[in-house]
């Protein structure tokens, strides 16, 4: 069951109210889960129950995605603002430097939270920000095409397509290597989430100049990449390793851009291993 929390975020025009929707389950050290652009927190559903056996899991809808309202006037959808949002979110939730795992945009945000020393460890699954300019243009073009298609498809057609493996492949094969494994209900919900994401356009625009270029000394970092990622090609993981040389670079065989659905057991193990900081719990 989801819940919401509201808090204030500083802006040049004074504090602005922000509301974030989340699901919290499990016990242990806190683990924050962040999804990618156009997605929602349910992207993590295949692994949440596994993670919850060892962690206090908080899966969130980023502002302007899922059922979280968009950011108010005065707050931009850029990386510094989103980092400030999650600084305030953690304070409101009384989370003392949680572990964080993110996918795509969420992976980039997880790394930024690590750079700001707001988290204990970072696990980034196919994180954004390690692209060349041509790779960025390709990825953004694909994302915009996916958004246009999702907005134009009538809901009855999406529901009909989702009932077959072939239809689910047509709707989601860009992000999943094994789209047939995704449930019809999940495919319908994430197609609607992409179509209705109020923060999509502004987030994509803000990301056009983003590159992650900093090391994260003192923060355990895991970077994992699916071997069948069709959106952010896996050579970007090698770049991430050069920029963050102490990071653990993990290959996810047979997984696509959103690997949580393709191999839940493997992804859960990677996230849990990444959050086992020496001297800090399990």
pLDDT tens digits, 138-172: 999 999 999 999 999 999 999 999 999 999 999 99
Residues 6+ apart with CB under 8 A from 257: 36, 103, 104, 126, 174, 175, 176, 226, 229, 230, 231, 232
CA distance 46 to 204: 26
Write the DSSP assignment of 51-91 as a string of letters.
HTTTEEEEEEPPTTSTTSPPPPTT--SSHHHHHHHHHHHHH
Largest CA-CA distance found in the chain, in angstroms, rounded: 53
Looking at the domain assignment, is residue 157 inside a domain? no
Looking at the domain assignment, is residue 126 inside a domain? yes
CA distance 203 to 185: 26
CA 209 to chain centre: 19
Q: Is 212 helix (H, G, I), strand (E, B) or coil?
A: coil
CA distance 129 to 212: 5
Looking at the domain assignment, is residue 23 inside a domain? yes
CA distance 192 to 57: 25
Looking at the domain assignment, is residue 18 inside a domain? yes
Beta-sheet pairing, 122-125 with 55-60: unpaired
Looking at the domain assignment, is residue 160 inside a domain? no
What's the total number of domains in the chain? 1
Q: What is the pTM of this model?
A: 0.96
pLDDT tens digits, 12-34: 888 999 999 999 999 999 999 99
Looking at the domain assignment, is residue 147 inside a domain? no
Q: Which domain holds residue 264?
A: 2-131+209-274
pLDDT tens digits, 48-79: 999 999 999 999 999 999 999 999 998 999 99
CATH code of the domain in which 240 resides: 3.40.50.1820
Looking at the domain assignment, is residue 173 inside a domain? no
**Contact assessment for residue 25 and residue 45, using Cβ atoms and an 8 Å cutoff:** no
């Amino acid at each position: 069951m989801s819940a919401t929390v509201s808090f204030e975020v500083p802006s040049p025009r004074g504090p602005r109210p922000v509301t974030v929707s989340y699901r919290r389950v499990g016990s242990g050290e806190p683990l924050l889960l962040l999804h990618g652009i156009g997605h929602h927190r349910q992207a993590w559903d295949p692994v949440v129950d596994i993670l919850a056996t060892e962690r206090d899991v908080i899966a969130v809808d980023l502002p302007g995605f899922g059922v979280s309202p968009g950011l108010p006037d005065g707050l931009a959808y850029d990386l510094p603002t989103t980092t400030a949002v999650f600084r305030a979110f953690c304070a409101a939730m009384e989370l003392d430097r949680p572990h964080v795992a993110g996918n795509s945009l969420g992976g980039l945000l997880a790394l930024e939270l690590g750079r700001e020393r707001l988290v204990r460890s970072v696990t980034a699954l196919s994180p954004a920000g390690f692209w060349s300019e041509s790779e960025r243009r390709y990825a953004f073009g694909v994302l915009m095409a996916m958004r246009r298609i999702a907005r134009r498809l009538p809901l009855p057609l999406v529901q009909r397509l989702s009932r077959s493996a072939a239809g689910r492949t047509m709707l989601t094969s860009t992000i999943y290597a094994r789209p047939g494994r995704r449930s019809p209900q999940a495919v319908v919900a994430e197609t609607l989430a992409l179509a209705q994401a109020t923060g999509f356009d502004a987030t994509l625009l803000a990301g056009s100049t983003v590159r992650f270029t900093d090391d994260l000394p003192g923060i355990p970092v895991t970077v994992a990449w699916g071997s069948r990622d069709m959106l952010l090609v896996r050579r970007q993981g090698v770049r991430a390793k050069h920029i963050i040389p102490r990071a653990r670079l993990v290959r996810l065989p047979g997984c696509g851009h959103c690997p949580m659905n393709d191999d839940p057991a493997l992804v859960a193990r990677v996230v849990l291993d990444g959050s086992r900081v020496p001297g800090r719990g399990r």
